[in-house]
Chains A and B, each alone.
Chain A
Amino acid sequence: MDTLDRQIINQFQGDFPIVDRPFLALAEKLDISESEVMTRIRFMLDDGLLTRFGPLYNIDKMGGTFSLCAMQVPKDNFDNIADIVNQFQEVAHNYERDHRLNMWFVLAAESKSELDETIKRIEQATGLMVFNFPKQREFYVNFQLSI
């Protein structure tokens, strides 16, 4: 990754121009050719430096309900419980964290009742209590990495 790649990443994490030839618009800003911008973006996607390119949809606004949940899982049974929890298709992300509440996962469901039902099923399947932390308020964050 060189300076030009960094410039491309730093400048185009948002505000992708919605025009017929957007890569040409990006290229003009950087004073390089359209094909070079596209080649570099393709390379960084293939290489894994970029996770993706495109619209970041706000899934909250598409219908559906989400919640952050946590459990206190005994250390000696952690991997087994992780397998059980991960088998639920409603579990989108799951992280181990260094806290007494050591398993944190995001549940996605069609409705609040389905979400509550999923929590009950996870509690039954694991024998552990699920703490439910649905978001009450989201603060707009314009997070862009500067590299």
Chain B
Amino acid sequence: MSTSNSVSDPVERDSASELAKLDRKIILATQAGLPVHERPFDLVANEVESDPLIVKQRFNAMLEDGRIRRIGLVPNHYRLGYVANGMSVWDIDDADAEAAGKEVGALDMVSHCYLRPRALPDWPYNLFAMVHGHYHEEVLDKIEQIAQLLGDKVRARDILFSTRILKKTGLRIS
């Protein structure tokens, strides 16, 4: 990665912007998925008019800096029987919230874990953890385990099950 100092060098800056352009092309070409082909990175390179070696380097770079979370198969939760999902929400003292989030995020079956602002008096909860299971009771059991883990750090808690998907479009860049 270029440092801010090296980016001020015109040559470095040009190559940084070239890379940003290439990365954008790669993202656009693959945000819907990679081709299931013997040489998928060759196909991507062809599409973005680059070289497979460079394309592979860019994927590694984006994995390293976090722009790509991971590369792999994404199973359909619902089709695989994970039909219950509960958004568990917790009111944790701000001083303990960071540590609590790390503990909860490390648990199996928690797919997302965030700190968010409260909206008092309507909404006292600051820690959100999405929990998945095959059925309602499994999700409730899992949330009881989280409650035990957090112990007396929990001032209040609730769980919101989704009852209907109203809209689901992927987050896309254009």
Contacts and interface: CB of A to CB of B under 8 A. Distances in A.
B160 A53 contact: no
Interface in B114-131: 114-117, 119, 122-123, 128
A13 B75 contact: yes
Given A53-B33, A54-B34, A57-B31, A95 B166 contact: yes
Contact of B67 (A58, A91, A132, A143): A58
A99 interface: yes
Among A58, A106, A143: residue with most chain B CB under 10 A: A143
Contacts of A9: 73, 75, 80
Contact of A62 (B34, B67, B161): B67
Interface in B51-87: 52, 56, 59-60, 62-63, 65-77, 79-82, 87
A93 B164 CA distance: 11
Nearest to A143: B111
Nearest to A82: B166
Nearest to B167: A94
Contact of A139 (B38, B39, B104): B104
Nearest to A72: B122
Interface of B: 27, 30-34, 36-42, 52, 56, 59-60, 62-63, 65-77, 79-82, 87, 98, 101-102, 104-106, 109-117, 119, 122-123, 128, 132, 158, 160-171, 173
16 contacts: A20-B52, A21-B39, A50-B73, A55-B68, A58-B69, A62-B173, A92-B171, A96-B162, A96-B163, A96-B164, A97-B161, A105-B167, A131-B123, A138-B112, A140-B105, A143-B112
Interface of A: 8-9, 12-16, 18-24, 34, 38, 41-42, 44-45, 48-59, 61-62, 64, 66, 68, 70, 82, 85-86, 91-99, 101, 103-106, 108, 131-141, 143, 145, 147
